[in-house]
Amino acid sequence: MTDALRALIRDVPDYPRPGIMFKDITPLLGDPRSYRAACEAMAESYRGDGVTHVAAIESRGFLFGAPVAISLNAAVVPIRKRGKLPYHAEFEEYELEYGTDALEMHVDALPAGARVLIVDDVLATGGTAAAAVRLVERLQGHVVGCSFLIRLTFLNGLEKVAEKKVSTIIAFD
């Protein structure tokens, strides 16, 4: 299955800037069987972990987080870029190559002790995922793991979430 999914991920050179090889998931999303298989595979490692909430990171994480939540019979919680949520929110800043960014989540998105799976499409440098973990934990959720469709191994993002259970479906070296 992994090879079939990998074949549906298109390389786009020099996007969003020169020197970057972007991993485009839209061909995978356009194949209903493969998309379903990817979402099921992302949920599989967490079936016995009592996940109550799936925290999906904006924006492509939403595409996987909602189906994973349905598969796990869990609630879905959006984690968005700062300033995008309509209600009272907490935020967590993280480092970018040039500057900082921030993620936010509604303050009432999780009951205390919620068992949360964080979902995103790609684990690259790990900064976004680590910020999501800190945010969920600050809002009294327990992060049971992080699930990603793709891991870019050469960027060492796994190191930033190494204390958590992490699963990825496809790795690119």
3-state secondary structure of 139: coil
Does residue 134 carry a catalytic annotation?
A: no
Which of the following is catalytic: 17, 33, 97, 163? 97
Question: Per the omega criterion (within 30 degrees of 0), is the bond before 32 cis?
Answer: no
| Cα–Cα distances in angstroms (integers) from residue 48 to residues 63, 130, 133, 142, 146, in the given order | 23, 23, 20, 15, 14
Which of the following is catalytic: 60, 80, 115, 151? 60
Lookup result for tokens 């993002």? 157
The two structure tokens encoding residue 122? 């790609």
Of 118, 142, 140, the C-alpha closest to 131 is 118
For the annotated catalytic residues, the residue numbers are 60, 97
